[in-house]
Amino acid sequence: MRRCISICSAAMIALWCFSTPVWSAETDQGQRLYLQYCSSCHGKDGRGNGTVTPYLKLKVPDLSLLKKNHKGIYPSNDVMTAIDGSRAVRSHGDRQMPVWGEVFRKEVEKEKYTELTALLKAKVIAGYVATLQR
């Protein structure tokens, strides 16, 4: 029994060690994309204090409170659909927030998996936003 626990523990440690660089790289890419596409409105820390917020008609939501506002569960799917535009976001009014899914698809339209690549960008950004939760 102890041997089985030792083997399972070693396997879990190895899995964690090998998966950490992938997660770290994904987080770095998510941060880069977030800063490029989202921070001007939502701020570098996600708190709705971006450089263009004084010029917007609507208050930009504090993205760092998403988990808190959803009973401790980060709404990953909601964040992704808000980013890619597949779900209308009431607070965005008449689409003041760009539909980034369209932008992402145009950026990679000559590539083989356009839709998948665009969706992955939204997923990576949503993953980064998850790290901003307080």
> Looking at the domain assignment, is residue 17 inside a domain?
no
Tally of domains in the chain: 1
pTM of the model: 0.75
**Residue 68 located in a structural domain:** yes
Residue 89 contacts residue 100 (beta carbons within 8 Å): no
Q: How does pLDDT run across 29-59, given as a tens digit for each residue?
A: 999 999 999 999 999 999 999 999 999 888 9
Q: Is residue 6 part of a domain?
A: no
Query: How many CB atoms are located within 10 Å of the residue 83 CB?
Result: 29
pLDDT band at 9 (very low <50, low <70, confident <90, very high): very low
- Evaluate whether residue 1 is within a structural domain: no
Task: Classify residue 3: in a domain, yes or no.
Answer: no
Is 127 within a domain?
A: yes
Range of the domain at 112: 24-131
CATH classification at residue 126:
1.10.760
**Does residue 16 lie in a domain region?**
no
Closest CA to 74 of 86, 66, 62, 83: 66
Distance CA 40, CA 100 (A): 14
Q: Residue 56 and residue 70: Cα distance in Å, rounded?
A: 25
Confidence band of 80 (pLDDT split at 50, 70, 90): very high
| Residue 18, in any domain of the structure | no
